[in-house]
Structure 1
């Protein structure tokens, strides 16, 4: 990252070894890459394939896909190419491959996010389950010793209470899959007090009360401001040491996309965190990658997909 702004971290994002190890021990998923014929999705597919965490199923224009593979010196003759023209057809082809059981994961390539998600949500694709789709970031520190999970920074703009309940369920489910036996989940607000003038604080209290009664093998607390979510020192100063989540949260449920997006980008750009992103709630894991994602984040996202796919098949 650039040194122009002193607040920006000089740390490069790193896909944690433990995450890659978990993914490599899972069954290798077939990943339908929507419109794969561009440098970034092809590089991500090659890296994940060489790491044994992906079997690519390419969709899009065959000549573009083969040209990008040739640039990488990558022989893709053993892999399936589903020919499709343009963004919408390529997205639909990837979604249909997943819905029909010809692929296990749907991954965004060179197409707009709204087009990609529209394909995933199309009724005839067969990916709807009746659950809301929620986006989750699992962000690892560069030293690999700690990670924190955030919902929903990319899909639901202004999630209502029911959507945040679904996000909470999916976050806990993901952390259980990753080996966290009893996740500690915080509901974000600007204060730890319940104030009618701060609607997110009232809703965080409602969500925490609901979660404690409905979700097993996890601890919940809210409302909590960010300092009380992350800092044991702030927790001690404000005499909240009896709170099971404060100062040691594994996950944060955010009230809206602005706070979620800001928090995720702060952890990435200010600490060098590696943000693995996944959309849950569909028939298959969905990877909504971004052009701004570094290679480590793309690899980590593919790791999440392999782990979630394996866990779903066992359940």
Structure 2
């Protein structure tokens, strides 16, 4: 165990020194801004990142005050020190990636007030002086020795960052002509128009023209140049959109203001729908704070109690989506309540069978392991604690849930309790279907459209869908 111990006033000698070395990281700047509330553009905006103003501000705000204070409060004099005054001069810029050594040296002692004056010198990795000055403190008169506190690792999550990466990945792709089904509310219509503006889709609005125009008027949406296929109601909109897809006039569907069942009913029609040999399934794509990669969860919206054959298609659909998103070898965790095959828990038997199917080439494109409990699917520490040797455990890209109830609860817990952002898409039909909740915002709709666009182009290159 490491300990922290102070130097009392009587122990301190003139000329005594202490030092601390730190490297400035981008996340240090972000954390400082969060803690202080200082969002001055010269501190946090990228356009200032290479400017002297930026460097000097960071040196003053983070290194000049906080790190020198850290040396005085933990090393010399240490715990019990009272900081009185400081006076610093900034001699050179400090930037991201610079390593700064802070050294304090005792130059004066005042016996009457227990005042100690220390010279403070900060140098960078090239030995250049970046900060110099003096600090006046009251040194402690009581000896303190305590275990050193190990600070927690802090992760800052930028909302929408991974979804923005998805959208950027489509920059070189042509937009996909898309039937937007019954976009008769502001949110779904705005999402469709914004997806069109970002060249993710070419929207074809299918629904009652008057209601679509009224929704556009509510938020000032511009419908000029946008094709509208007028239908009397939502049922007709869904049937018309499916007919457009069957005729090859659109390459994907996007859900507007109508129930999922209403949209999917004509899709699954055996004679006039968009069925294939593959069972259709839904995939949630989640951007979860503190998880280092996008997380796909399936199936949480379509298949209620899937049998083994359906689960095979659910797994393959999710792998194909992950491949389209650029994940070279998707890692698939087949979830259950436990990580051992247990005859009384059917989902563990299905998990074992799916792994064997993957070994025999009945599922391709990913690395599959299961059964895995949720904790050891997403946490290396949990997997190691249970002695699980697996290339998937702790690093899953895809979570395959036992049934719809488990998947829906898991996804919504991550969204509402863990602050995850969610996008959604239906796979296994002739065309991908953007399927978002009525509560989802524009960003979720854009991310879902980006996934569908990537999937369409992935298939167009002759790769499996």
Q: How does 1:129-278 map onto structure 2 within 5 Å?
A: 129-142=276-289, 145-214=292-361, 215-240=363-388, 242-278=389-425
Q: Please say which structure displays the higher CA radius of gyration.
A: 2
1:42 aligns with 2:189: yes
1:112 to 255, 259, 265: 259
> 1: CA distance between counterparts of 2:359 and 2:419?
33
> 2: CA distance between counterparts of 1:108 and 1:217?
29
Root mean square deviation of aligned Cα: 1.9
Which one is further off, 116-125 or 303-312?
116-125
Q: How does 1:84-99 map onto structure 2 within 5 Å?
A: 84-99=231-246
Distance 1:224 1:288, change over 3 A: same
SS in 2 for 1:252: strand
> 1: CA distance between counterparts of 2:340 and 2:289?
33
Q: Tell me the matched-pair count.
A: 305
1:289 aligns with 2:430: no
Q: How does 1:120-131 map onto structure 2 within 5 Å?
A: 120-131=267-278
SS in 2 for 1:23: coil
SS in 1 for 2:254: strand
SS in 1 for 2:211: helix
SS in 2 for 1:57: strand
| Structure 1 unaligned residues grouped into runs of 5+ | 1-10
> 2: CA distance between counterparts of 1:44 and 1:204?
37
Distance 1:61 1:49, change over 3 A: same
Distance 1:153 1:110, change over 3 A: same
> 1: CA distance between counterparts of 2:271 and 2:440?
30
- The answer to whether the Cα contact below 8 Å between 2:348 and 2:371 also exists between their aligned partners in 1 is yes
SS in 1 for 2:451: helix
Distance 1:144 1:158, change over 3 A: closer
1:302 to 439, 442, 449: 449
- The answer to whether the Cα contact below 8 Å between 1:184 and 1:249 also exists between their aligned partners in 2 is yes
- The answer to whether the Cα contact below 8 Å between 1:100 and 1:126 also exists between their aligned partners in 2 is no
- The answer to whether the Cα contact below 8 Å between 1:277 and 1:289 also exists between their aligned partners in 2 is yes
SS in 1 for 2:417: helix
User: In the alignment, which residue of structure 1 is the partner of 2:43?
Assistant: none
SS in 2 for 1:77: coil
2:164 to 17, 37, 59: 17
> 1: CA distance between counterparts of 2:374 and 2:325?
24
> 2: CA distance between counterparts of 1:49 and 1:188?
37
> 2: CA distance between counterparts of 1:59 and 1:109?
9
SS in 2 for 1:85: coil
Q: Report how far residue 142 of structure 1 moved.
A: 5.0
Q: Report how far residue 187 of structure 1 moved.
A: 0.6
1:58 aligns with 2:183: no
User: In the alignment, which residue of structure 2 is the partner of 1:280?
Assistant: 427
SS in 1 for 2:171: helix
Distance 1:224 1:144, change over 3 A: closer
Q: Report how far residue 213 of structure 1 moved.
A: 2.2
| Structure 2 unaligned residues grouped into runs of 5+ | 1-156
1:26 aligns with 2:186: no
Q: Report how far residue 60 of structure 1 moved.
A: 0.8
Distance 1:143 1:201, change over 3 A: closer
> 1: CA distance between counterparts of 2:443 and 2:290?
13
TM-score under structure 1 length normalisation: 0.92
**Higher relative contact order (Cα pairs below 8 Å, separated by 6+ residues):** 1
SS in 1 for 2:360: helix
1:71 to 218, 221, 224: 218
Structure with the higher fraction of residues in strand conformation: 2
SS in 2 for 1:271: coil
> 2: CA distance between counterparts of 1:142 and 1:79?
37
* Superimposed CA distance per residue, residues 13-66 of structure 1 (whole angstroms, 9 cap, x where no aligned partner): 526222011123222011101111221211111221222212110111111111
Q: Report how far residue 144 of structure 1 moved.
A: 8.9
User: In the alignment, which residue of structure 2 is the partner of 1:7?
Assistant: none
